[in-house]
Amino acid sequence: MIKRTLFFGNNAYLSTKNKQLIIDFADKSKEQVSIPIEDIGVVVMEAYQMTISLNLISRLLDNNVALITCNEKKMPQGLMLNLDGNTQQQERFKHQINISQPLKKQLWQQTVKAKIINQAAMLKKLSEGNPQNATTNAEFENMLYWANSVRSGDPDNYEARAAAFYWANIFTEFVADFTRGRFDAAPNNLLNYGYAILRAVTARSLVASGLLPTLGIHHHNKYNAYALADDIMEPYRPYVDEVVYDILSTHDLAFDEYHQPQIKLNTEIKAELLKIPAIDVFIDQEKSPLMLAMKRTTASLFQCFAGNSRKILYPEI
């Protein structure tokens, strides 16, 4: 069953009773709401004056819910996860910690290849019916060539080559000379928000599979607590990009005095981005909500760590 993503942008008191999440709004004109905790997968808390009981936090984490807190700019900042998400936690940690460097490189090779293939497919998909900005068959085939040329560990950095081409072409219909950067102009703010949701879904699935989100196969920044999540979410990123593309297609972009695009992360746009865990993807030739597909991906990753498989199962666009 696909789990629900809840967003709290207004002040409220959150508590629990009878295995339900109870919402008492600060606005007393609104009636109390209850939601079964077992139906929840992600909770995003944005309102600065909202209150949540420790009992509820404990029960949410018991149900492997990912709790996201936002900063004063209303952007996702913190992530809380269950530390005991699998009954075989210690054994699985040992498998993860003891994997060899060659296996890490092979898994990263698969990850980069899957990411480039999905980027190529997304460019081709979004360019259909738009001849002005269409990705040519030759360019599409060239990206597939890059994907098939990725070697163990990606020493030739095909991931960066593909990314440079991808970002130069995906939003040309809306923004000239788009640059992907965390602090750069819109629609980077939308991408940042969407990726934060995707990261939480990934980390949640890793914990459920008995893995440490901190120990990556490629990302290894000592300040990054979710390096493995950042690795495994890579082939899923183009799905977020498509959601952002669709938002840009239905909203008008304004431009400031420096000709930088402007689009605010209002409640309506956040609602669209919060649907990311429920969007349909194809994995192993079957349609599945992204959140459930991610569970299959992380489960297959553990089988690689345990020596039972050599292949991570990723979705294909």
Which CATH number covers residue 53?
Answer: 3.100.10.20
Same domain, 31 and 162: no
How high is the pLDDT of residue 44?
Answer: 96
Domain assignment present for 34: yes
Task: Indicate whether 54 belongs to any domain.
Answer: yes
Looking at the fold, whether 192 and 276 belong to one and the same domain comes out as yes
Q: Identify whether 316 is part of a domain.
A: no
Q: Give the pLDDT score at 111.
A: 98
Q: Does 57 share its domain with 127? A: no
Same domain, 43 and 189: no
Segments of the chain scoring below 70 in pLDDT: 85-87, 129-135
Number of residues that make up the chain: 317
Give the global pTM.
0.92
Task: Indicate if 51 and 174 belong to the same structural domain.
Answer: no
Q: DSSP secondary structure string, the chain?
A: -PPEEEEE-S-EEEEEETTEEEEEESSTTSPPEEEEGGGEEEEEE--TT-EE-HHHHHHHHHTTPEEEEE-TTS-EEEEE--S--STTHHHHHHHHHT--HHHHHHHHHHHHHHHHHHHHHHHHHHHTT-GGGPPPHHHHHHHHHHHHHPPTT-TT-HHHHHHHHHHHHTTTTT-TT----TTSSTTHHHHHHHHHHHHHHHHHHHHHTT--TTS-SS---TT-TTHHHHHHTGGGHHHHHHHHHHHHHHSPPEE-TT--EE----HHHHHHHTTGGGSEEEETTEEEEHHHHHHHHHHHHHHHHTTS-S----B--
What is the Cα–Cα distance from 132 to 196, expressed in whole angstroms?
A: 32
Q: Dig out the tokens for 97 from the structure.
A: 């910690």
**Residues 209 and 156 placed together within one structural domain of the fold:** yes
Asked whether residue 101 is domain-assigned, the answer is yes
| Residues 114 and 198 reside in one and the same domain | yes
Choose one of 80, 105, 138: the last residue of a domain: 80
Single residue among 31, 59, 80 that ends a domain in this structure = 80
**In this structure, is residue 215 part of a structural domain?**
yes
Q: Tell me the CATH number at 282.
A: 1.20.120.920
| 14 bridge partner residues | 23, 52
Q: Are residues 70 and 100 in the same domain?
A: no
Q: Please tell me the number of Cα atoms within 13 Å of 192 on its side-chain side.
A: 18
pLDDT at 217: 95
Same domain, 152 and 244: yes
- Is residue 311 situated within a structural domain? no
Domain count for the chain, please give it: 2
| Claim to verify: residue 35 and residue 118 sit in the same structural domain | no
> In this structure, is residue 289 part of a structural domain?
yes
Does residue 243 lie in a domain region? yes
Residue 193: give the domain boundaries: 89-305
Q: Which of 80, 113, 131 is the last residue of a domain?
A: 80
Q: Are residues 73 and 99 in the same domain?
A: no
Are 66 and 95 in the same domain?
no
pLDDT at 148 (0 to 100): 96
**259: region left, alpha or beta (phi > 0 left; psi from -120 to 50 alpha):** left
pLDDT for residue 289: 96
